[in-house]
Structure 1
């Protein structure tokens, strides 16, 4: 019999919030517009569906949805993402009150779903979708289904399907083998032995949207909630469910339900699509117009005899670029070519920075200069050289940006960049900001977090040698209440996190000296030494091969580490940890590292493969897949598989998680390079853990290479 982790539920605040949302929605304006009645609603599982059952519909490509749903004593929080036009995935965290008896106990469950739309709807053909529910999890919600949906008249849709597992309980009409029904204690393992096995039952329903706001739903459910009924969580008396949705203009959804004869439910879904997120075009001031040359001045080289001409041109360019938020660090001026060294602290879209600087050059360079070579600098090293013809800028200013792209070259900037001007370095910058360090979706408590104040600073000794650090002071939090005392056959490389949170107040988050370089054409390097992250210090080295025009990059990283003291000040401790249950001692290896491959797959998809040795000494690989959008949004997932068994790893079976990059710029309508990167791990464990080094090369380098520049070239004239 599996043993479940329990906790006391002290509040019903979530139910209250949902009730309040429903009350507000009831007085919302009843929209009578008939333009769009093709509403796609989410069900209680956070996927396209009726009440509890799925439909065959799909949300628009790129839609990211967060749903909080309450059905009886069960709360489901789901994150769903429409990966492509046909494929979608959902991660769900469910809280089941009274799972083993008694309303004061709650069991927390994690699950993962996949859906694929096999057929899209046509005039005579319904849409058809195949779904795998709880494909990675404990198996509590495990089920597979094939469902079809057809629009009969505008706003009226019918759905019918059949399924296994959770979808095969009500009046099964067939049986396809034996299906295991026990709940997996560790979870996180594909439940392949259950797929399309066991009883098969039918479900269906109808929905009607009288306008683009309201949607009324009726369904016949094939899930009998047998276990929940036995535990008293749901009083199941009928397979018929009823519901009504209200869709807000921004795409959000609020719903109330009457389900299974004697149960009320409600949900709220927040939907965003990175493709359409933000202020169209932005609020920033327009760039300077191109200044055409007088044809008679093009051949005039008299300025080349003036010893002050280069300094005068650079001063003018520096002043104009500064108005656009760009920093000119150096200029090499020749009779027909100007090569500029520039730092972009402002624009999250590289092509916009390039376009702005090109226009400033047209107004500050002598008329005989025909070729502009713009070299963006990041971490003190040249990333690429963008070569533009001045005559093309003059000729194509009012044409499509793609016309200018055809005339533009992106080449390797190795040994091409001017040296930085005297007096720029050393440079010191600092900031004081709030911080939040969170742990979510663990089996004991939905959210743990620390919050406080962070002071960080960078001292750029030279352009490519940077001393940086951060100090935090915790003001409140409960991350120190996550002791992780379960047995593991691995060194405690991450599960001692609670001790670092408890004793590190104040704490030196990191304090490192990093040197970046260009050892050869197409190669980039990094060496970092110091307190590299909150748990480890040492030496980290990295080399990256990345041609400027290639979608492929290869890299290697090698680290020598020492475990830091729990108080995260200046001390270190030995590399021996003790299992809290067995008392067995394990040695953390000093050496770890990876070889990596990065590939831009096109159509917004980007993949990464890291193979090597992890912190606990385990060997394996991490596979990462991201969907990227031209405005800077990224949504992705990763999974790590090593030679650690699922039993040694513990709950969750292997390391996996979701990744989000949310840029600030689309929300404020102003250029900004600020991005909020978020990683949601289903559970942080020791297996598959990797050193958290700041300043890894690839993201810095790829930004100014040809594939990335081309993606965003539409903003060249912004």
Structure 2
């Protein structure tokens, strides 16, 4: 399993939970102890859970992308079972990985309960797989739940399956045999059991108490690991240590202690840290300057625009009563914030001839959008003499077009930029070690030969790792396009992850193109190109990329291996109901298999994104191997949400249960869809209040 990681800190936040509070169960996801409930955390919630109930230690990540949808991703360590042979795994305990999902079917009303449908362990080995319906009803400080479950949660199996009256096959539950597959042929089959319980919110706000009736009798545990159950009643307590930390203790099976901790935050309700390291916004002058425009020190204004508003200025021009700034925003994640800060600086330097400030944002000389701010209204709003809604209504975000204007100032940007930092990568859940990691230092740079032609690359140096334990190579029935991961990670301490030449152009008012060549990613070199049609302000776009690539040597230097292929996809991007975004790619993958990748995500107004993908290709289950098909989830968090300085960078975490060769895409360094995010007019207006910061 490959995990691509960038560190994210779960910072404390104030959450307005209705009482009783919604807390996590042993497996991850809102619930009691061993059992789920129909309750959901607020949208935007993220929690990391760790607990121990002998012989199981469970580590899970739960996400709430929508008010009615919950997802959980979990590792279970079974301490009394070994992972594999001692030569490979040593004394490492067995690790099971799983994916859960729960959807609300009905929201609680005065008379009716909240009802949810859930699936446990739908994308892993199926050792703990289960399906259930559960209902919740609140009475004052008590929250009652009652459900029926098939599979692990209902292993007591003391009821006849009501679905057996429809078809006899529902009376027996087949054993899962394909790790990582979605075993729909087992759903709702076998004898179910009832489960349920109650949460009591005590008068002492930090403390909640739980009592549940367990639907599992522990006589059918995975790997013949049956446990003695002295009582089906489990009890527990959850103590809210802080706004972002919950501690759990309990007594399960009538004979076994439970201890757990949950770290959680909500990326919708939490407030981002104060940007104490940003320069203060420029105050507005008492009145407009009188200096003629052709006598203003525009070079000095350009420096202020870059330092305070994040714009690298290319040109400043006048168009009648409009002052035009052509440049590239490189600092502020919220474009409204950069526009507002630039407007303050321009208001301090432009005389009263100017009634509009227009910022034309470019990426690699490709005009994206132009934002026009009415000067008088902006001043009145900043001075609290007019409502923000008036500025919202009159500020325009339009397609960037060519204008006839008078140049007041022009400068050539610095062609060379560079940066340094620390990198981290890890391999999680392998048989040779649960956590294999590497910390590295890197240097990266970019040189622009022209505004739209540039070279980019970097060097990475290993600082420390435990990859000496990394011995296992996944089996493969396809060309080894990704399963040679171990060799790429362990062969050299100094690597060149990428070094390529790129050119991008705006081909028409809504059409963009890019070509590139070189060492495109750690495993592949080659040449390729991309086209993207993205109408301004529309909630859809379509693109295509085509690449001829060849495998790189394991040391990630300049050498190449023999394997080569053509890969590429046509991708459509669109907005779905419930504020979901979809990207559907159809094409040829690195292992020469053909297929489709569906990526569904939810991006909140602050840019935090929860998403997941599924890929099915012409590679059969036998060719693909364990897992049957490619799938995974990811979280993308703007550093602006977790740091005290403004930045456009992101922390990205991608989690895939297994690294396999089927459905493998090229990891391109640049994407036209990302580069043209300025065309998303919604993102500007959803965070419009930032224009006054």
Give matches, 1:69-468, under 5 Å: 69-99=51-81, 104=91, 106-154=93-141, 156-170=142-156, 172-175=158-161, 176=164, 177-184=170-177, 186-210=178-202, 211-228=204-221, 231-232=224-225, 234-279=227-272, 282-283=275-276, 284=278, 286-291=280-285, 303=292, 308-309=294-295, 312-313=297-298, 315-316=300-301, 318-319=303-304, 322-397=307-382, 398=384, 399-416=386-403, 424-442=412-430, 445-468=433-456
> Contact 1:414–1:522 (CA<8 Å) still a contact in 2?
no
Which residue is 2:26 aligned to? 44
| Secondary structure of the corresponding residue to residue 592 of structure 1 | strand
- In structure 2, relative to structure 1, the CA distance for the partners of 1:626 and 1:292 (3 Å cut) is farther
The 10-residue stretch of structure 1 (386-395 or 698-707) with the greater mean CA deviation from structure 2: 386-395
Please give the alpha-carbon distance, in whole angstroms, between the structure 2 residues aligned to 1:468 and 1:171.
Answer: 61
> Contact 2:432–2:471 (CA<8 Å) still a contact in 1?
no
Query: Deviation digits for residues 591-622 of structure 1, max 9, x if unmatched?
Result: 11111111233654222111111111111111
Which residue is 1:708 aligned to? 683
Please give the alpha-carbon distance, in whole angstroms, between the structure 2 residues aligned to 1:463 and 1:401.
Answer: 36
| Secondary structure of the corresponding residue to residue 709 of structure 1 | helix
Structure with more relative contact order (C-alpha pairs < 8 Å, separation 6 or more): 2
> Contact 1:622–1:639 (CA<8 Å) still a contact in 2?
yes
Deviation at 1:383, TM superposition (A): 1.2
- In structure 2, relative to structure 1, the CA distance for the partners of 1:352 and 1:263 (3 Å cut) is same
TM-score normalised by length of structure 2: 0.89
- In structure 2, relative to structure 1, the CA distance for the partners of 1:425 and 1:152 (3 Å cut) is closer
Query: Deviation digits for residues 470-502 of structure 1, max 9, x if unmatched?
Result: 111113324575555454221100111111122
Deviation at 1:347, TM superposition (A): 0.9
- In structure 2, relative to structure 1, the CA distance for the partners of 1:416 and 1:108 (3 Å cut) is farther
- In structure 2, relative to structure 1, the CA distance for the partners of 1:405 and 1:190 (3 Å cut) is same
Query: Deviation digits for residues 565-596 of structure 1, max 9, x if unmatched?
Result: 11211111211xxxxxxxxxxxx42x111111
Deviation at 1:200, TM superposition (A): 1.7
Deviation at 1:558, TM superposition (A): 0.8
Query: Deviation digits for residues 21-53 of structure 1, max 9, x if unmatched?
Result: xxxxxxxxxxxxx99642112110111111101
> Contact 1:484–1:495 (CA<8 Å) still a contact in 2?
no
Please give the alpha-carbon distance, in whole angstroms, between the structure 2 residues aligned to 1:279 and 1:447.
Answer: 31
| Secondary structure of the corresponding residue to residue 683 of structure 1 | coil
Please give the alpha-carbon distance, in whole angstroms, between the structure 1 residues aligned to 2:246 and 2:236.
Answer: 12
Query: Deviation digits for residues 638-691 of structure 1, max 9, x if unmatched?
Result: 111111112211122111111111222222333222321121111111111111
| Secondary structure of the corresponding residue to residue 435 of structure 1 | strand
Give matches, 1:631-670, under 5 Å: 631-670=606-645
Deviation at 1:205, TM superposition (A): 1.6
> Contact 1:480–1:498 (CA<8 Å) still a contact in 2?
no
Please give the alpha-carbon distance, in whole angstroms, between the structure 1 residues aligned to 2:421 and 2:314.
Answer: 28
Query: Deviation digits for residues 502-560 of structure 1, max 9, x if unmatched?
Result: 22321111111111211111112221111111111111211111111111111111111
Deviation at 1:286, TM superposition (A): 4.9
Which residue is 2:582 aligned to? 607
Please give the alpha-carbon distance, in whole angstroms, between the structure 2 residues aligned to 1:182 and 1:701.
Answer: 48
Deviation at 1:392, TM superposition (A): 3.2
Q: Alpha carbon RMSD of aligned pairs, Å?
A: 2.8
* Number of matched pairs: 662
> Contact 2:233–2:253 (CA<8 Å) still a contact in 1?
yes
Deviation at 1:635, TM superposition (A): 1.4
Deviation at 1:437, TM superposition (A): 1.4
Please give the alpha-carbon distance, in whole angstroms, between the structure 1 residues aligned to 2:272 and 2:404.
Answer: 35
The 10-residue stretch of structure 1 (242-251 or 611-620) with the greater mean CA deviation from structure 2: 242-251
- In structure 2, relative to structure 1, the CA distance for the partners of 1:637 and 1:416 (3 Å cut) is farther
| Secondary structure of the corresponding residue to residue 112 of structure 1 | strand
Please give the alpha-carbon distance, in whole angstroms, between the structure 1 residues aligned to 2:411 and 2:44.
Answer: 47
TM-score normalised by length of structure 1: 0.86
| Secondary structure of the corresponding residue to residue 377 of structure 2 | helix
- In structure 2, relative to structure 1, the CA distance for the partners of 1:316 and 1:523 (3 Å cut) is same
Query: Deviation digits for residues 343-362 of structure 1, max 9, x if unmatched?
Result: 22221111110111122222
| Secondary structure of the corresponding residue to residue 248 of structure 1 | strand
* Greater strand share, structure number: 2
Which residue is 1:519 aligned to? 507
> Contact 1:340–1:417 (CA<8 Å) still a contact in 2?
no
- In structure 2, relative to structure 1, the CA distance for the partners of 1:713 and 1:480 (3 Å cut) is farther
- In structure 2, relative to structure 1, the CA distance for the partners of 1:443 and 1:619 (3 Å cut) is farther
Which residue is 2:48 aligned to? 66
Deviation at 1:73, TM superposition (A): 1.6
Please give the alpha-carbon distance, in whole angstroms, between the structure 1 residues aligned to 2:494 and 2:430.
Answer: 26
The 10-residue stretch of structure 1 (533-542 or 119-128) with the greater mean CA deviation from structure 2: 119-128
| Secondary structure of the corresponding residue to residue 710 of structure 1 | helix
Please give the alpha-carbon distance, in whole angstroms, between the structure 2 residues aligned to 1:648 and 1:421.
Answer: 61
> Contact 1:401–1:715 (CA<8 Å) still a contact in 2?
no
Deviation at 1:400, TM superposition (A): 4.0
Please give the alpha-carbon distance, in whole angstroms, between the structure 2 residues aligned to 1:640 and 1:221.
Answer: 36
Which residue is 1:562 aligned to? 550
Please give the alpha-carbon distance, in whole angstroms, between the structure 2 residues aligned to 1:684 and 1:540.
Answer: 25
> Contact 1:346–1:672 (CA<8 Å) still a contact in 2?
yes
Unaligned runs of 5+ in 1: 6-33, 576-587
Paired residue for 2:457, among 466, 469, 476?
Answer: 469
- In structure 2, relative to structure 1, the CA distance for the partners of 1:443 and 1:611 (3 Å cut) is farther
Please give the alpha-carbon distance, in whole angstroms, between the structure 2 residues aligned to 1:436 and 1:229.
Answer: 34
| Secondary structure of the corresponding residue to residue 209 of structure 2 | strand
Please give the alpha-carbon distance, in whole angstroms, between the structure 2 residues aligned to 1:179 and 1:615.
Answer: 41
| Secondary structure of the corresponding residue to residue 41 of structure 1 | coil
- In structure 2, relative to structure 1, the CA distance for the partners of 1:136 and 1:178 (3 Å cut) is farther
| Secondary structure of the corresponding residue to residue 692 of structure 2 | coil
Deviation at 1:67, TM superposition (A): 0.9
Please give the alpha-carbon distance, in whole angstroms, between the structure 1 residues aligned to 2:292 and 2:298.
Answer: 11
- In structure 2, relative to structure 1, the CA distance for the partners of 1:484 and 1:379 (3 Å cut) is farther
| Secondary structure of the corresponding residue to residue 44 of structure 2 | coil
Which residue is 2:654 aligned to? 679
> Contact 1:290–1:393 (CA<8 Å) still a contact in 2?
no
Unaligned runs of 5+ in 2: 2-15, 85-89, 165-169
Which residue is 1:585 aligned to? none
> Contact 1:452–1:474 (CA<8 Å) still a contact in 2?
yes
Please give the alpha-carbon distance, in whole angstroms, between the structure 2 residues aligned to 1:599 and 1:645.
Answer: 29
The 10-residue stretch of structure 1 (273-282 or 415-424) with the greater mean CA deviation from structure 2: 415-424
Please give the alpha-carbon distance, in whole angstroms, between the structure 2 residues aligned to 1:268 and 1:200.
Answer: 30
